[in-house]
Amino acid sequence: MKDHSNEIWNPKTSTLLWRVLGLLLLSLFWLTSQSSEFGVILLLFLAVMALARWRFSLPGWTVLIDQAACLMMLFSWEDAWLALSLPIFEAFRSGKKRYLIPSLIALLFYAELSIALISLSVLAAFSGLVIRSWEQQMEQYRLEVDRERRTRYELEVLKRELLLANAKAARTAELTERNRISQELHDHVGHELTGATLALQAFEQLWEENDPQAKDFFGQLKERLFKSTQDLRETVHNMKPVKPLGIDVLEEVCRAFTAYPIDFKVYGNTEKIPVYLWSILEPCLKETLTNVSRHANATKVEVSLDVSESIVRLAVYNDGETSGTLTSGGVGLRNLRQRAKSVGGSVAFHTKDGFQFVCVLPIEDAR
């Protein structure tokens, strides 16, 4: 069940409650002091001002009106000194303490100070300060929430732009490679095959006529077919990437790591992983294995790649001792955390019974 206590109990509600209790307390003093009807007029006026402040945002100087009303009623109601607690509270709550100079002068030079007057005035000032501090903290909290929300929005926009840029880059690379292959086949293989076709037609005609030149055309035919086959083989060889792609990237990194034996396991369909995520998983694995070889005295290293419908999880564990460099997170780990965060992922590590590094990246449709 959702907790609504913070929504109900807030600075505005506390201010309203203090005003109501203050008016009720003044009403009690008026009833016990058997004063004239002027006390009722003052209470009604203060109630109207409190209601106006509740409904509208009145300027801070309006506390001067409350003070003037209280000081004017002193001639007919002695307990009007206590009513000054309301403007004192409003001045401290709004942060406009300079407007309390008239009340301060009156209290110091004309009032008969009593325990009730001093206690109520101090309580009003303290309550105003507390509520104002509470309001400032709430405002600061709202600003921080808005700032975090804006930052998350900017990260989402950046993430979408990165995904779109990666998709466009992959599409551009694909079209460029297709164009290169098409040109290679047209300029070399196609040319030789066309020449071989013409040579075959000439050979066929000379063969039917028993022309001695048929042997020469047959040799040309063999040479052009051999040349076209060689060009096709070179084109296919150039299509093969020099650097491994996909899961081969991680397998190659694990094979190249000879410091400790590695148990590499794969779960799920790795074909679901977009190309741009491999560019993050590879440096994550390299950085972690480098830290293991430098800072850990391990006997084994376990690497697992788990692919689900929505995320890919790379985990690297070693049973060695962890040094301060690993536990504090070096520059390399901080850079990996930033790269994972740019695509909506996260990087974490803990040092319980060894050292474990975990990178979780979301799998999304790049289209």
CA distance 258 to 256: 6
Structure tokens at 301: 């290293």
Q: What angle do CA 55, 60, 61 make, to 5 degrees?
A: 120
pLDDT over 70 at 125, yes or no: yes
CATH class of 247-362: alpha beta
pLDDT over 50 at 367, yes or no: no
CA distance 197 to 217: 11
CA distance 127 to 121: 10
- Taking only the tens place, the pLDDT of each residue in 43-67 is 889 899 988 888 888 888 888 988 8
Range list of H helices, 34-77: 38-55, 63-72
CA distance 90 to 316: 61
Report the range of poorest mean pLDDT among 181-190, 305-314, 354-363. 181-190
**pTM of the complete model beyond 0.75:** no
What backbone phi and psi angles, to 5 degrees, belong to 358? -130, 125
pLDDT of 329: 55
pLDDT of 185: 65
pLDDT of 1: 44
Structure tokens at 245: 């792609």
Decide if 285 contacts 250 (C-beta within 8 A): yes
pLDDT of 215: 67
Which residue ranges make up each domain of the chain? 5-113, 165-239, 247-362
**From the centroid of its chain, how far is CA 165?**
20
Q: What angle do CA 71, 77, 80 make, to 5 degrees?
A: 45
Who has greater pLDDT, 218 or 22?
22
